[in-house]
């Protein structure tokens, strides 16, 4: 019995200590890591090892199948396409040696490839690109992004994706080992920025065929031609490593030897690992954002994702909703306080958006932000909102309107929905909002069926051009799903896409006019905020580059300085 | 006994078949499809992808195909891990959950039994109240609270154990094990106490005392053995719950377990993983219930089953 007494005591002590300790509060929270900053040195340390976390597993490392940010980030660091995003988020030649030759009407691009090698020592050839792209568009591959990125861009892509043509007819051809000729459907002004996107990475035909179904299922079954190689990834696990790729053509500019990545889904756990010194960077959200708002190691990065309310004009695509009335839409678009929402409810550094195309995302030839053309539209204005509202109600001949507000079911989303409901009902007398919160998957299905009145949705860019946002709302767009149909808008988008494809200034203006039309004049959507990503990052981590579209991070230039 | 076991195994197979069928049709009733998270697809492309995964076939055909594959232990390929083999995924992920579950079960039950016995033997003393207090704490405070507190104090502040992650061998498993053990500990303590108190006041204990049996002998040989029966009844399902993994504890300690994967696959409509894990869980639960029934007979001869007496 003596032994059990001891166990008893021990467990009591343990349990009690946990409780008592919990009451102690957080007095010495800030002691760690304070003297890291005193000596500012940028000389790389001897040990070049970076410790990172991801919030999700790698669903696939096959560039033809990848659809998520983790996958794109991994591929961006272990592989390299014709172009690569540089530190300033501008695509620049990578495997392509210098700028391509472009024919007069901008439809045929001829790339010359530099001497680059795969991780097995073989050369990266033009055929690797031809093969990978054809594989991505082949319906048999079942790629989502292949058709999405190539349709309307690369010749015959759409026909192949819908089974009306053979994958062989895709407009990409390896003229010889070093020359790749790409034929486009029409001039595409942003084509080169696409070349930095994961879907357009090369794959070595022999290797893919040899591995068959096992291709890219774990880190041994992929070839790498980028700054790093992937190791210790079993295909579904929560951990993987990057090691410097000794066969990379630009390896002299890669400083890190190893990056250890672990998947940590709980923000709190991530913060604990960061505080214990095990991890060098931890993403923050929700309550942690507020808690660490004044931390000196806080890093804010503006993303190019914009969130907005979709205002459905026809329920199920058939019957008119009150939102078919433009004044009602204008009223809703102006009736909620975005400043307060981003500052107090979201509280993660995100900024109110009075626009569709995010700021600091696209620039014209003179490096002027696209945002400067239209500036803010339909800002929060309770008085104007009420005026439009009353006008709209009169036109509809009703006194009361009930609308269903569809949102996601996460904690933060729910808080935001609650705030929106409150604001809209307060500022628009006679309006009652019914909240409907469902899992993401479900929301997408309801969106597809157009089974909602108002929907809180968002969009992240796929290429660096305002069109990635503007093209969402043409009447034939698969993403429209709110019965917004404006001939004028369609024409402006067509102008930007085709008519002015080779006239940048006019094209830019057409895109801006389209944005003004959809946001301000027609109030088809009501922009809410542009997201900011915040994280804690050790000051000894240098040059970890964060991108605002495509892959999230580039580790190529990152290094450790001042940790030791 | 052999006849009984054969009969039970046949029942178990029927049960599994029913579970498989119900899960299949319930799952098909879930709103959304695994591919509906792909808003970038046009309807034609969607059709192509659905055909690739066999989702375009009529439901009965899908059902038969799925049953056929299941017999071969082939649960198909995952949607979220594009093309990853589900059976392999379950094998990879079940290991850590299983280890934690067993450790937590052993630790929790042992300490729980000891606490319960002390409480029963020293009824209405400070020992009794202390152990009851612990049991109440354990039952009423969810495991993730323990997990978070342990992680913060033992991991971050005192730096005694790894904060999280599954890479330092046994030491990585200590904190999650403790967090998971609190529940079974409390349950075991309470059951053992209640049963022992009852047994200790029964006539045959009096007889044993009269015969001069030592306190130790009475406590273990007589009282404890009888107290085990209800304990095993509750511990069976508890054990199944433990070895199949805990979503929260696995997430907090970033453990590559199966519990977390199960919940995620439901949210993502990843049919093959939902089916695979459900069947895996059901199988475990059924086997554990079977073992529990066998254990009854061993512990208490009165419950020995038909045919067992011969």
Cβ <8 Å between B149 and A235: no
Poorest-pLDDT segment among A73-77, A321-325, A475-479, B37-41: B37-41
Cβ <8 Å between A447 and B39: yes
Assembly ipTM? 0.83
The whole-number pLDDT of residue A19 equals 42
Highest mean pLDDT among A65-74, A134-143, A328-337, B264-273: A328-337
Q: DSSP E strands: which ranges in A245-376?
A: 258-263, 281-284, 298-311, 314-315, 319-320, 351-352
The whole-number pLDDT of residue A423 equals 95
The whole-number pLDDT of residue A206 equals 95
Highest mean pLDDT among A335-344, B74-83, B206-215: A335-344
Residues A393, A18: Cα–Cα separation, whole Å: 60
Phi, psi (degrees; rounded to nearest 5) at A255: -100, -30
Residue A1 predicted with pLDDT over 80: no
Residue A407 predicted with pLDDT over 90: yes
Of A419, A335, A373, the C-alpha closest to A513 is: A373
The whole-number pLDDT of residue A148 equals 85
Tokens of A456: 């809180």
Q: Is B179 on the interface with A (CB under 8 A)?
A: no
User: Any residues with CB less than 8 A from the CB of A37 and at least 6 apart, and which?
Assistant: A296, A539
Instruction: List the 216-245 stretch of B: residues with Cβ below 8 A of A.
Output: 216
Mean pLDDT, rounded, for A46-67: 91
Residue A123 predicted with pLDDT over 80: yes
The whole-number pLDDT of residue B308 equals 46
Q: Is B160 on the interface with A (CB under 8 A)?
A: no
Cβ <8 Å between A217 and B84: yes
Residue A353 predicted with pLDDT over 80: yes
Q: Is B123 on the interface with A (CB under 8 A)?
A: no
Q: Is B249 on the interface with A (CB under 8 A)?
A: no
Angle at A379 between CA A377 and CA A382, to 5 degrees: 145
Percent helix, percent strand, percent coil in chain A, to nearest 5 = 35, 20, 40
Mean pLDDT, rounded, for A201-215: 94
**Cα–Cα separations (whole angstroms), residue A550 to A86, A145, A224, A481, B145:** 12, 12, 19, 24, 37
Facing residue for A18 by CB, picked from B78, B92, B153: B153
Minimal C-alpha gap between A321 and chain B (Å): 23
Residue A15 predicted with pLDDT over 80: no
- Report the residue of chain A nearest B133, measured CA to CA: A12
Cβ <8 Å between B39 and A268: no
The whole-number pLDDT of residue A40 equals 54
Cβ <8 Å between B36 and A266: no
What confidence category does residue B190 fall into, taking pLDDT thresholds of 50, 70 and 90? Answer: confident
Q: Is B45 on the interface with A (CB under 8 A)?
A: yes
**Quick check: B177 and B105 in contact, CB under 8 A?**
no
The whole-number pLDDT of residue A162 equals 83
Minimal C-alpha gap between B100 and chain A (Å): 17
Instruction: List the 138-157 stretch of B: residues with Cβ below 8 A of A.
Output: 138, 146, 148-153, 155-157
What confidence category does residue B159 fall into, taking pLDDT thresholds of 50, 70 and 90? Answer: confident
For the stretch A474-533, pLDDT in tens is 998 888 999 999 999 999 999 998 889 888 899 999 999 999 999 999 999 999 999 998
Q: Is B299 on the interface with A (CB under 8 A)?
A: no
**Quick check: B217 and B256 in contact, CB under 8 A?**
no
The whole-number pLDDT of residue B38 equals 56
For the stretch A445-458, pLDDT in tens is 888 889 999 999 99
The whole-number pLDDT of residue A347 equals 81
DSSP label of A13: H
Cβ <8 Å between B251 and A442: no
Average pLDDT, chain B: 83
Mean pLDDT, rounded, for A403-420: 90
pTM of the model: 0.83
Minimal C-alpha gap between A237 and chain B (Å): 7
Q: Is B125 on the interface with A (CB under 8 A)?
A: no
Facing residue for B150 by CB, picked from A18, A235, A447: A18
Mean pLDDT, rounded, for B233-243: 79
Tokens of B235: 């511990």
The whole-number pLDDT of residue A82 equals 97
């Amino acid at each position: 019995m003596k032994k059990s007494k001891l166990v008893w005591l021990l467990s009591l002590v343990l349990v009690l200590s946990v409780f008592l300790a919990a009451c102690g509060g957080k007095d010495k929270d800030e002691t760690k890591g304070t003297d890291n900053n005193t000596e500012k040195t940028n000389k790389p340390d001897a040990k070049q090892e970076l410790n990172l976390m991801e919030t999700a597993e790698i669903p696939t490392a096959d560039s033809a199948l990848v659809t998520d940010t983790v996958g794109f980030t991994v591929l961006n660091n272990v592989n390299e396409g014709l172009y690569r995003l540089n530190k300033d988020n501008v695509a620049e030649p990578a495997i392509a040696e210098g700028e391509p030759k472009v024919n007069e009407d901008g439809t045929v691009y001829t790339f010359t490839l530099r001497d680059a090698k795969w991780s097995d020592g073989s050369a990266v050839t033009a055929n690797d690109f031809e093969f990978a792209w054809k594989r991505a568009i082949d319906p048999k591959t079942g790629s989502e992004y292949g058709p999405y990125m190539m349709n309307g861009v690369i010749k015959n892509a759409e026909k192949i994706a819908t089974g009306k043509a053979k994958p062989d007819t895709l407009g990409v051809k390896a003229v010889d080992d070093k020359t790749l000729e790409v034929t486009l459907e029409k001039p595409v002004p942003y084509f080169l920025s696409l070349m930095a996107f994961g879907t357009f990475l090369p794959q070595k035909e022999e290797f893919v065929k040899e591995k068959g179904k096992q291709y890219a299922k774990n880190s041994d079954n992929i070839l790498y031609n980028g700054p790093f190689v992937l190791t210790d990834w079993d295909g579904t696990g929560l951990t993987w490593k990057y090691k410097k790729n000794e066969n990379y053509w630009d390896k002299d500019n890669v400083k890190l030897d190893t990056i250890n990545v672990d998947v940590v889904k709980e923000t709190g756990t991530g913060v604990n690992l960061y505080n214990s010194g095990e991890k060098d960077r931890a993403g923050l959200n929700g309550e942690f954002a507020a808690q660490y708002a004044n931390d000196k190691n806080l890093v804010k990065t503006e993303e190019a994702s914009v969130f907005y309310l979709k205002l459905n004009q026809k329920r199920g695509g058939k019957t008119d909703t009150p939102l078919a009335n433009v004044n009602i839409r204008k009223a809703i678009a102006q009736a909620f306080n975005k400043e307060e929402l981003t500052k107090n409810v979201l509280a993660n550094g995100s900024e109110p958006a009075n626009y569709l195309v995010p700021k600091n995302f696209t620039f014209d030839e003179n490096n002027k932000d696209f945002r400067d053309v239209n500036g803010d539209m339909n800002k929060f204005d309770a008085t104007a909102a009420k005026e439009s509202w009353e006008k709209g109600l009169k036109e509809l001949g009703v006194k009361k309107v009930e609308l269903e507000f569809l949102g996601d079911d996460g904690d933060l989303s729910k808080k935001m929905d609650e705030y929106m409901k409150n604001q809209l009902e307060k500022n628009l007398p006679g309006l009652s909002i019914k909240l409907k919160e469902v899992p993401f998957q479900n929301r997408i299905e309801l969106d597809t069926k157009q089974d909602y009145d108002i929907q809180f949705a968002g969009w992240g860019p796929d290429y660096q051009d305002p069109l990635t946002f503007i093209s969402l709302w043409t009447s034939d767009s698969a993403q429209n799903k709110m019965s917004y149909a404006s001939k004028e808008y369609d024409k402006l988008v067509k102008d930007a896409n085709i008519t002015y494809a080779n006239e940048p200034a006019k094209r830019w203006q057409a895109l801006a006019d389209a944005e003004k039309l959809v946001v301000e004049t027609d109030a088809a959507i009501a922009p809410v905020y542009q997201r900011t990503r915040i994280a804690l990052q050790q000051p000894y981590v240098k040059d970890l580059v964060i991108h605002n579209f495509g892959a999230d991070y580039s580790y190529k230039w990152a290094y450790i300085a001042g940790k030791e | 006994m052999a006849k009984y076991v054969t009969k039970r195994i046949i029942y178990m197979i029927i049960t599994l078949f029913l579970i498989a069928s119900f899960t299949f049709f319930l799952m098909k009733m879930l709103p959304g499809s695994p591919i509906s998270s792909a808003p970038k697809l046009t309807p034609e492309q969607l059709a192509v992808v659905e055909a690739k995964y066999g989702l375009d076939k009529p439901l009965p055909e899908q059902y038969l195909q799925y049953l056929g594959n299941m017999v071969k232990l082939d649960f198909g390929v995952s949607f979220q891990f594009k093309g990853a083999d589900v059976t392999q995924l379950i094998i990879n992920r079940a290991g850590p959950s299983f280890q934690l579950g067993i450790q937590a079960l052993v630790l929790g039950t042992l300490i729980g039994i000891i606490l319960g016995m002390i409480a029963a033997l020293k009824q209405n003393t400070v020992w009794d109240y202390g152990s009851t207090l612990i049991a109440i704490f354990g039952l009423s405070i969810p495991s993730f609270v323990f997990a978070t507190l342990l992680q913060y104090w033992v991991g971050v502040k005192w730096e005694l154990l790894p904060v999280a992650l599954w890479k330092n061998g046994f030491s990585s498993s200590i904190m999650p094990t403790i967090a998971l053990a609190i529940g079974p500990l409390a349950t075991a303590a309470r059951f053992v106490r209640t049963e022992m108190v009852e047994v200790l006041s029964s006539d045959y204990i009096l007889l044993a005392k009269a015969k001069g049996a030592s306190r130790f002998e009475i406590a273990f040989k007589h009282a404890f053995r009888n107290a085990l029966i209800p304990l095993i009844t509750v511990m069976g399902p508890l054990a199944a719950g433990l070895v199949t993994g805990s979503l929260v504890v696995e997430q907090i300690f970033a453990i590559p377990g199966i519990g977390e994967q199960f919940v995620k696959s439901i949210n993502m409509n990843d049919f093959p993983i939902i089916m695979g894990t459900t069947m895996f869980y059901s199988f475990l639960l059924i086997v554990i219930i079977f073992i529990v029934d066998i254990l009854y007979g061993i512990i208490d001869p009165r419950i020995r089953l038909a045919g067992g007496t011969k």
